[in-house]
Amino acid sequence: MNTIKPYYHSAGITIHHGDCLDVLPTLPSESVDFVLTDPPYLVGYQGRWDSARKVIVGDEDPAWIRPAFAEIWRLMKPDTLCVSFYGWPHVDAFLGIWKEIGFRPVSHLAFVKRQWGLGRFTRSGHETAFLLAKGHPPKPAVAISDVFDWHRDETALHPNQKPVASMAAILHAYCPPNGIVLDPFMGSGSTLRAAKNLDMRAIGIEIEESYCTKAATRMAQGILTSLFRIDT
Ligand SMILES: C[S@@+](CC[C@H](N)C(=O)[O-])C[C@H]1O[C@@H](n2cnc3c(N)ncnc32)[C@H](O)[C@@H]1O
């Protein structure tokens, strides 16, 4: 197993710049306590404010789903959980592969936005994620709601940026204190920022260097109380 030099490492937070299909195999088996990730949705999404209007890497070709989640499974400790967002038009592809690998869906989460998109048949006002089990994880001390308010962060660092408060609520419920969180599709680092706010350790991987830079800058900032709210 090759070790690779991280792009950023400080106070238990590690960022790797690269393709997660190359980086994940370098990490030790059964070493992470929880996975919270937001992979490409396979919808050819283009960032709205980016003048280049580049498509998100991996958003057009589903070939990465199986190898990435097979590696995620290998890295998860026995009897642990993974939360993954997904693109709803391709739910069959995501769910089919997750189940083939061995994941068991144990809940489905909805994130409700206050601002709605223009839409076509409906105006989109929510995002969704599956809670997936490897083995038989213990139930959390308190079962949290499966509906989250989408408290939009002030800063827009990524077109698919997730609210840190919601990510923190998920980590608080499902990752043990001082546990290690993995996000192989890190983007601007919302999962890692939430982990840092909760004094957890975290590993993020991102293929676009510009997002690694933004995430690293975010890790260096102090804890903002507005980003630390725990939704239950
Ligand atoms: C949906 S976005 C994640 C946004 C993130 N949740 C945030 O709050 O900023 C998915 C990210 O995965 C990255 N990505 C796509 N394919 C990848 C791969 N094979 N390895 C690592 N990162 C990848 C994309 O560049 C994109 O930034």
pLDDT, one tens digit per residue, over 164-205 is 999 999 999 999 998 999 999 999 999 999 999 999 999 999
Sign of the torsion angle spanned by Cα atoms 2, 3, 6, 12: positive
187 in ligand 1 pocket by Cβ < 6 Å? yes
Task: Give the pLDDT confidence score for residue 230 in this predicted structure.
Answer: 47
Q: What is the pLDDT of residue 202?
A: 98
Q: What local confidence, expressed as pLDDT, does residue 52 receive?
A: 55
Pick the residue with more confidence: 120 or 79?
A: 79
pLDDT at 56: 74
Per-residue pLDDT at 20: 98
Ligand 1, atom 4: closest residue by C-alpha: 187
- Count of alpha carbons within 13 Å of 225, Cβ hemisphere only? 0
- Express each pLDDT in 30-74 by its tens digit: 999 999 999 998 776 555 545 455 667 777 788 999 999 999 999
- For the chain, percent of residues with pLDDT exceeding 90: 74
- At residue 102, the pLDDT reads 98
Question: What 8-state DSSP symbol labels residue 187?
Answer: T
Compute the distance from residue 79 Cα to the ligand 1 centre, in Å.
26
Over 50: is that where the pLDDT of 228 sits?
no
Residue nearest to atom 27 of ligand 1 (CA): 187
pLDDT given for residue 185 in this prediction: 98
Mutate to test the pocket of ligand 1, among 45, 71, 186, 217 (most ligand atoms within 8 A of CB): 186
- What is the per-residue pLDDT for 23? 98
CA dist 225 and 37 (Å) reads 23
CB of 84 within 6 A of ligand 1: the answer is no
CATH topology of domain 8-227: Rossmann fold (3.40.50)
137 CB within 6 A, ligand 1? no
What average pLDDT score do residues 110-136 get? 92
Query: What pLDDT is attached to residue 2?
Result: 67
Query: pTM to 2 decimals?
Result: 0.92
Order of strands across the sheet with 201-206? 8-10, 13-17, 201-206, 180-183, 32-37, 76-85, 126-134, 104-112, 147-149
CA of 142 to the centre of ligand 1 (A): 30
* Domain ranges across the chain: 8-227
User: Tokens in use for 82?
Assistant: 């993974």
d(CA 133, ligand 1 centre) in Å: 22
* Res. 16 pLDDT band, cuts 50 70 90: very high
